[in-house]
Each structure stands twice: as C-alpha cells, then as structure tokens.
C-alpha cells in the first residue's frame, strides 16, 4: 500500500500546468499545495514542513535543504536537474528524481517547425498576405523570398540521444542526408542510415543544416563560436533547441549581420527570459521562440504523469528515474 504523504509542495507549476491539465494524481498521494511561481525569498516559508518538493526552475541548494528538515524527496519537473545540489541531497538521504524523455516528439517537431519556417518563409509570406500585399500583386503568386527545397540536403546533428535520433528520422523522411557527431559507433549509425562525422569541424563545414541536441558541458559551452561559424556554408541554417549557452550569441548575430549565415532558429537563449536583451533579438533572419519546444499539451501531460508515478514509486520504496 502506498504511504500517504503529509505535505507535497509544487514550487513553480504554472509552465507545466497553466490550468489546462490536472494535479489530481498527485493529490491522491498527499496534501498538495501548488504555487504558480516561487521567488527565492519565499522558498523556505512555502516549503516548510514539506516532505516532497517538486520544482522546475526554483533552485534547491544546500542552504535550502538545511532549512527544510522534513524534506525527503525532490522531484525535478524537467529532464535537466542542475537546479538541485544533488551531492548535498545524497548526503542528507534526500531522493532526487527527474523526468526523462517526456518531450522528445514535441522538441523534434519544433526543430522541423523552425526549419520549415526558414526554408519556406512561412511567417514572412503569411504576414505579407495579412498586410494585403497579395491582393495588390500583378501575379497569382506572391514571392517575398527564395524558397529552399530540403530533399538531398545534408542535415547535421550534434548529439544523438532520444531527441537527436527523432530529428534524424524526420530529416530523413524529408529526403535529407543525415550526418552526426555522436558517441555512438559508426556501425550503429550506419544501421540508421546516418553518417558519422569525424569531428565538429567536418560537420559544420559540410552540413546545410546544423541542429544541436547535446548537453551543456564545459566542452560544449559556446560550441558554436566564430571559428566554427566561419566553416559553415553561407547558405547554411543553424537550429538550437538544446541550451542557450551552446551558442556564442554575439558570434552568431555577427554571422547573420554579415551574411555569413543564411538563417537561425532558436528556442533557447543564454538568459531566459532575456531581461537584459540578447544579441540575437533583432538580428536579421533570426527566428526565436520563447522556450516552448517542450511545452505541447501532450508533453506536459506526460511530464505530470511521470512526475506523479515517480512520487508514487518513492512512496512504495522503489527507485524510478532516481538521480
């Protein structure tokens, strides 16, 4: 029988559930309090006496854990768990879990949305119609910019995890040749019809499209810098749905302004939200979505379902998605 918890607190539940979904599954496991957002100075007062904390972006560090003696479990409502001091949690016997692979299809779909918007200039032409430009056209077809056919082009992927592999399948379905920088063996990639790149330099120089799906580490911080941008074709497209700091944003903006890069589509920035601005905002041919690739209703529903099952498993004494 599942143990009933006294208090479950969700610190920043709004992005996962702005009101169109339900936390009822968690409410079957304990007394649930949901906060849409929590600023750092409210963390301790809101989490006091909580045995289970669920967080997305609210940082749970050693000081917070020391001030929350009842805390037994931290569930991260995301795949990345850098918001939690995991070492300190382990030292204190606090279980930490995350939500893996819940948004694979949604993020891959956003990659394709950016790619097709850039190559087919969807937003540009739809806006022209809205402004009445088609009505005034002397021709039956109004063309505001060149359109690019993807069939036969090379799609380069950095990182072939769940999302990277799904993006590869979608690119292949559109007739593109896929190459990748990956830790997977050449033989394994060949079995999926993917060519293994020798290194970053080969991928950046040969690909018509480069899409980033690697984790953010010391090695990959500013993976896309001025040197690698200089290797890319002037007709190349860059897409980032991974982490903002994978890009040197100043270098990417400069490449767009100088015409050394055809187009960029990003769903992430170095600072989110960009309260201090970003060199990519206002850069020509740069299309930015506000970190929503993960946020389809289907993906958010999976996230909540997995988070609930993680807590239920913990209460049963089992380890599920434990970090």
Separation between Cα atoms, residue 240 and residue 213, nearest integer Å = 8
What is the DSSP code (8-state) at residue 251?
H
Residues 278, 280, 283, 287, Cα dihedral to 10°: -130
Long-range contact set of residues 26-32: C-beta below 8 Å, sequence gap at least 24: 26/54, 26/304, 26/307, 26/308, 26/311, 29/2, 29/4, 29/5, 29/308, 29/311, 29/312, 29/315, 30/4, 30/5, 30/6, 31/5, 31/6, 31/7, 32/8
Report the distance separating Cα 60 and Cα 53, nearest Å.
9
Q: What is the CA radius of gyration of the chain?
A: 22
φ, ψ dihedrals at 208, nearest 5°: -85, -25
Pairing of strands 73-76, 52-55: parallel
Bond before 273 cis per omega within 30 degrees: yes
Residues constituting the chain? 323
Q: Which residues are catalytic?
A: 243, 272, 291
Other Cβ atoms within 10 Å of 228 Cβ, number: 20
CA distance 190 to 177: 12
Could you give the CA distance from residue 307 to residue 6 in angstroms, rounded to a whole number? Answer: 17
């Amino acid at each position: 029988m599942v143990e009933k918890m006294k208090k479950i607190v969700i610190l920043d539940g709004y992005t996962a559930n702005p009101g169109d979904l339900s936390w009822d599954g968690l409410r079957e496991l304990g007394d649930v309090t949901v906060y849409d957002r929590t600023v750092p100075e409210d963390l301790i007062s809101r989490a006091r006496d909580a045995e289970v904390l669920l967080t997305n972006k609210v940082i749970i560090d050693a000081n917070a854990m020391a001030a929350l003696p009842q805390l037994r479990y931290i569930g991260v409502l995301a795949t990345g768990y850098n918001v939690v001091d995991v070492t300190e949690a382990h030292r204190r016997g606090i279980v930490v879990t995350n939500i893996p692979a819940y948004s694979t299809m949604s993020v891959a779909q956003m990659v394709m949305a950016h790619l097709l918007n850039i190559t087919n200039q969807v937003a540009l032409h739809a806006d022209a119609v809205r402004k009445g430009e088609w009505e005034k056209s002397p021709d039956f077809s109004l063309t505001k910019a060149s359109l690019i056919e993807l069939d036969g082009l090379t799609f380069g992927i950095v990182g072939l995890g769940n999302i990277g592999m799904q993006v590869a399948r979608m690119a292949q379905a559109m007739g593109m040749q896929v190459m990748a920088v990956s830790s997977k063996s050449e033989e394994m990639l060949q079995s999926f019809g993917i060519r293994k790149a020798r290194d970053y330099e080969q991928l950046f120089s040969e690909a018509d499209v480069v899409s980033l799906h690697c984790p953010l580490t010391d090695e990959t911080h500013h993976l896309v810098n001025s040197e690698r941008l200089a290797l890319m074709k002037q007709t190349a497209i860059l897409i980032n749905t991974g982490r903002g700091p994978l890009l040197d944003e100043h270098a990417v903006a400069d490449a767009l302004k100088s015409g050394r890069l055809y187009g960029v589509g990003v769903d992430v920035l170095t600072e989110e939200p960009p309260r201090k601005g970003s060199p990519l905002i206002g850069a020509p041919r740069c299309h930015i979505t506000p970190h929503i690739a993960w946020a389809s209703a289907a993906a958010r529903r999976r996230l909540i379902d997995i988070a609930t099952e993680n807590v239920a498993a913990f209460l049963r004494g089992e380890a599920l998605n434990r970090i």
